[in-house]
Amino acid sequence: MTSIEAKSSTDPAARATGREAKAERGKSDAELDAIFGPIFDRIAEGAVEREIDRALPYEQVGWLREAKFGALRVPVEYGGYGATVRQLFRQLVELAAAESNLPQALRVHFSFVEDQLLAEPGPARERWLRAVAAGTLVGNAITEPGVGAVDRYHTRLTRDGDHWLLNGVKYYSTGSLYADYILAAADRDGERVGVLVDARADGVRQHDDWDGFGQRLTASGTTEFTDVVVSDERILGPGYGVAGPTYATSYLQVVQLAVLAGIAQRAERDAREWVAARTRSYTHAAADLPRRDPLVQQVIGRLSAAAFAARAAVLAVADVLDGVLADGARDEKALVAAELAAAQAQLAVIDQVLPATTLLFEVGGASVVSERLRLDRHWRNARTISVHNPAIQKARAIGDHLLNGAELPFAWSAGERRAEATR
C-alpha cells in the first residue's frame, strides 16, 4: 500500500476524488468496445506464435499504449476514458482472451492509477494522471527472491547527500520490461516504503528470466537496483505490506481473476472453432461430424458455462470495488466486504476454469494436442495464475473469518499477524 492509498482513508479532500472522477461522463461499453475490440483482435492473431517463440509482446503493448488503454480509469478531464471499475475489468477480460499475459503485466499499473485517483487533489496527482493519459505505464518490483515476508526486505534506500540510493534485487517484477516506471518496495531505516523508479535509470537492470511453465510473456523476471538515484518526491511513503484494510489486495486479485476469465473465454472459442472445422470422427461416435456429436456439444456447452461464470464473478466483485473506490476507500466494512468477495470469487473462478482447460481436450483425438495448436497454453496459463495467492490459504482465511470473525489477511505478512496475535 502506498502513502497515496493510505491518505485516501483519512483525508476529506481525497475522499471527494471518486465523485470528482465522475464529473465528466466517460465512454460507454459500446464505445470502449469499438476502440479496443479491433486492437484485441490484432493482438490475438499472433498469440500462438509468440507462445512458441517466447517473443515478448512489446509491439502489442505499444498498440495498447497508443490507444491509451492504461488510461481507462483516468478521468476525461485529464485525457482518459473515465471508465468505471466494472468497465475496466470488462475490458481486461477481453484483453486476457486475446493475450492472457498482458492484463497480468498491467496489474500494478492499474492499481497505481487508482492510488492517484484516491490521492489528495493537487499538482502531483494531476501530473501523474495526465502522464498515464499520455501513455505512461508503471510496472512493479515488490517481491524478493528468498524472502517470504514483506517485513524482511533486503532492498534498501540510503541517504546520499540531497538524494537517496536504491540497492537490491527483486523477482516477479511483472510487467516492468514494458513499463516507463517501476514501483519498488524498499526498507528505509526500518520503514517499508514504496519507490517510483525510472525503468531506464542508471543502475537498473532487468532480466526476462521468469521460468514458469505458464504466463511466460508477462516479463515477471529479476530486477536489479544498483545505486539508483531516487529523489524525495519519488518516495511514496509506507509501502506494500502495511497492516490494515486496503482496496489494493482485492483489486489486484480480481485482475488475476479477469485473466482466468479471459483464458476460459479463449479456450471455449478455440475448442469451438476447432470442432466446427473438423470433419474426421470415430467409427463409434454418435454422429458423422464432431459438431453434430451430442457428447462433443456437451463439452462445448460446459466450456461456455465456465467462461460465463468466471466473467460474471469478476464483474460482480468489480461492482463492489466500484462502490468502495467511489466512496474514497475509507469505509473499513466496505473494504472487508470487497476483500471477502474477491476471495470467494477466487475459489469459484479457479474451480470453474482449471477443469475447463482440461476438459477442452475431450473434443478430439490425438490431433487436438498438436504443438501447432498450443491448446495446452490455456491450462498452463490458468494453472500459473491460480497459484498466485494460493487458493488453499484463501479458503482457510474465508472459513476462519466467517466462523470466528478473524481478520482477513489483506497485504500484511504472516509474521506481523503472529506478532499481533501474541500481544
- The CATH number of whichever domain residue 320 belongs to comes to 1.20.140.10
Over residues 187-203, mean pLDDT:
92
Could you report the per-residue pLDDT of 320-367, keeping only the tens digit for each? 999 999 999 999 999 999 999 999 999 999 999 999 999 999 998 899
Is residue 8 one of the residues assigned to a domain? no
Domain count, the chain: 3
In this prediction, residue 17 has a pLDDT band, given cuts at 50, 70 and 90, of very low
Of 361, 372, 370, 268, the closest CA to residue 52 belongs to 372
- Asked whether the predicted pLDDT for residue 240 surpasses 70, the reply is no
Lowest-confidence region among 9-13, 85-89, 323-327: 9-13
Residue 372 lies in a domain: yes
Answer with the one of 115, 136, 157 that is the final residue of a domain: 136
96 and 172 share one domain: no
- Say yes or no: 199 and 253 in one domain: no
Looking at the fold, whether 257 and 396 belong to one and the same domain comes out as yes
Band of residue 23 on the pLDDT scale cut at 50, 70, 90: low
Whether 281 and 180 map to the same domain: the answer is no
Mean pLDDT for the chain overall: 90
Q: Pick 236 or 298 by higher pLDDT.
A: 298
21 lies in a domain?
A: no
d(CA 239, CA 144): 14
pLDDT in tens, 264-305: 999 999 999 999 999 888 888 888 898 999 999 999 999 999
User: Is 36 found in the same domain as 85?
Assistant: yes
Task: With beta carbons less than 8 A apart as the criterion, state whether 302 and 359 touch.
Answer: yes
* 3-state SS record for 167-212: EEEECCCCCHHHCCEEEEEEEECCEEEEEEEECCCCCEEECCCCCC
Q: Is the pLDDT of residue 146 over 90?
A: no
* Segment 114-137, tens digit of pLDDT: 999 999 999 999 999 999 999 999
Q: Would you say residue 114 lies in a domain?
A: yes
Domain that holds residue 68: 29-136
Contact 86, 319 (CB under 8 A): yes
Residue 2 lies in a domain: no
Find the CATH number of the domain harbouring 196. 2.40.110.10
Together in a domain, 283 and 371: yes
Q: Is residue 9 part of a domain?
A: no
Q: Are residues 261 and 171 in the same domain?
A: no
Is residue 43 scored above 60 in pLDDT?
A: yes
310 is a domain residue: yes
Same domain, 218 and 300: no
Q: Do 297 and 255 have their domain in common?
A: yes
Mean pLDDT value across residues 249-272:
97
Q: Are residues 330 and 189 in the same domain?
A: no
- Looking at residue 148, its pLDDT comes to 56
Report the distance separating Cα 264 and Cα 258, nearest Å.
10
Specify whether 269 is located in the same domain as 374: yes
Is residue 172 within 8 Å of 148, Cβ to Cβ? no
Claim to verify: residue 354 and residue 266 sit in the same structural domain: yes
Q: What is the pLDDT of residue 281?
A: 86
